[in-house]
Amino acid sequence: QKEVEQNSGPLSVPEGAIASLNCTYSDRGSQSFFWYRQYSGKSPELIMFIYSNGDKEDGRFTAQLNKASQYVSLLIRDSQPSDSATYLCAVRSGGYQKVTFGIGTKLQVIP
Amino acid sequence: EPEVTQTPSHQVTQMGQEVILRCVPISNHLYFYWYRQILGQKVEFLVSFYNNEISEKSEIFDDQFSVERPDGSNFTLKIRSTKLEDSAMYFCASSERFTGANVLTFGAGSRLTVL
């Protein structure tokens, strides 16, 4: 069973701080890694994806991938109250179309 | 911006009834998916569809479920005889390709309530 593990939270950070969200995965054959944001009652929306070891930056967001440790993280700089949502880590294994999601970490940004 | 559209947004049905959920994927996308999310739980993969056939399916996608692309635009999920535990949000998604990032774009979802 290919698993994606996340701490469900909530993770509370003050406005303007850095939020750090973490995810581990079990399948060493995983090739693509995604972070989605999901507001309550809404569908997941893509924040960013990464498939090479290291960091990938997009505006206030940085995704970090370490395949040796089977670990992917998302940093949100200058957190805003509008960032309050559940952040879903998702993983695609090589040779498969299926994307497996974690439970998501609920982030609360306190004004 | 292109989007995936789903209908209905909410459907209430009696246990044992058949339900069809409809989706219009993004027009140049080739891969189509159904996921579901029971309240408070993970987004779970049900099935993927490519070139007019199922390419992958999960253990959840049993004989009660079927998918179809009846024309060039619609992609449907049918649940033949609904159970209480089928109550969930059902998300349709599509992606442009399989290799590389395979980014899924989700529709707004169809909430199914089985009474």
Question: pLDDT per residue over A48-106, tens digit each?
Answer: 999 899 999 999 999 999 999 999 999 999 999 999 999 999 999 877 788 999 999 99
Contact B56, A98 (CB under 8 A): yes
- Match 């999310």 to its residue by tokens: B37
Please state whether B104 falls in left (phi above 0), alpha (psi between -120 and 50) or beta: beta
Q: How many CB pairs under 8 A join A and B?
A: 56
Asked if B42 has any chain A CB less than 8 Å from its own CB, the reply is yes
Asked if B50 has any chain A CB less than 8 Å from its own CB, the reply is yes
CB atoms inside a 10 Å sphere around CB A92? 27
* Chain B nearest-CA residue for A6: B42
Residue B102 is predicted with a pLDDT of: 76
- Which residues of chain B have a pLDDT value below 50? none
Question: pLDDT per residue over A20-46, tens digit each?
Answer: 999 999 999 898 999 999 999 999 999
Grouping H, G, I as helix, E, B as strand and the rest as coil, residue A17 is: coil
Q: DSSP assignment of B61-89, as one string? A: --TTEEEE--SSS-EEEEESS--GGG-EE
A→B interface, C-beta within 8 Å: 32, 34, 38, 42-46, 49, 51, 88, 90, 92, 96-104
